[in-house]
């Protein structure tokens, strides 16, 4: 080993550089697994459901992925410039003797509040749920809609 370190010459215990890279990769994987186990395990449940928020001239659109959740199990409310979606995700329990190799699907209550850029007309909000995707159409309040200004020529 001393000969290897001093001269760079491979000795009897010489390992290929690829074996060393593989050992380093395994160590990095173990480190990443330990870090993400503590960091991402709990916030994951707080980021459910995943949402996209878009807008056009007249409306804001919120689309949320809610697979396996029925429309009557959701509570949706709108106030001014925020939308709240809450409910409970239930997952069928596995056999008591089941051994998990990976468990990423969480069950439990969830709540998401989305702040919108401007006020909405709460009287005309519509929601539909098709194939596990909730779509909420939020008409912009009259004050939030863009107005066309005509320029007077003199």
DSSP string, 78-138: EETTEEEEEEEE--PPPPTT---S------EEEEEEEE-SS-B-GGG-EEEEETTEEEEEE
**How many angstroms separate the CA atoms of 66 and 89, rounded?**
9
Largest CA distance in the chain: 95
What pLDDT sits at residue 104? 79
What pLDDT sits at residue 15? 62
What pLDDT sits at residue 116? 93
What pLDDT sits at residue 93? 80
Sheet with 75-79: strands ordered across: 75-79, 82-89, 108-115
Residue 1 has pLDDT above 50, yes or no: no
Record the pTM: 0.62
Using CA of residue 145, residue 47, residue 51, residue 110, what is the dihedral sign?
negative
What pLDDT sits at residue 146? 72
If DSSP codes are grouped into helix, strand and coil, which group holds residue 53?
strand
Structural domains of the chain, ranges and CATH numbers in brackets: 2-39 (no CATH), 51-143 (2.60.40.790)
pLDDT tens figures, 43-102:
444 468 899 999 998 999 999 999 989 888 999 999 989 999 999 988 888 888 888 888
Residue 118 has pLDDT above 50, yes or no: yes
């Amino acid at each position: 080993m001393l000969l290897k370190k001093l001269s760079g010459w491979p000795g009897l215990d010489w390992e290929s550089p690829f074996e060393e890279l593989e050992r380093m990769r395994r160590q990095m994987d173990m480190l990443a697994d330990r870090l993400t186990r503590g960091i991402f395990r709990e916030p994951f449940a707080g980021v459910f459901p995943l949402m996209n928020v878009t807008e056009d001239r007249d409306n804001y659109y919120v689309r949320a992925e809610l697979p396996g959740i029925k429309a009557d199990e959701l509570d949706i409310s709108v106030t001014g410039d925020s939308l709240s979606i809450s409910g409970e995700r239930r997952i069928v329990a596995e056999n008591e003797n089941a051994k998990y190799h990976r468990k990423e699907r969480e069950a439990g209550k969830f709540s998401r509040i989305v702040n919108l850029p401007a006020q909405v007309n709460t009287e005309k909000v519509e929601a539909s749920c098709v194939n596990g995707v909730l779509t909420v159409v939020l008409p912009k309040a009259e004050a939030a809609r863009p107005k066309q200004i005509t320029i007077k020529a003199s």
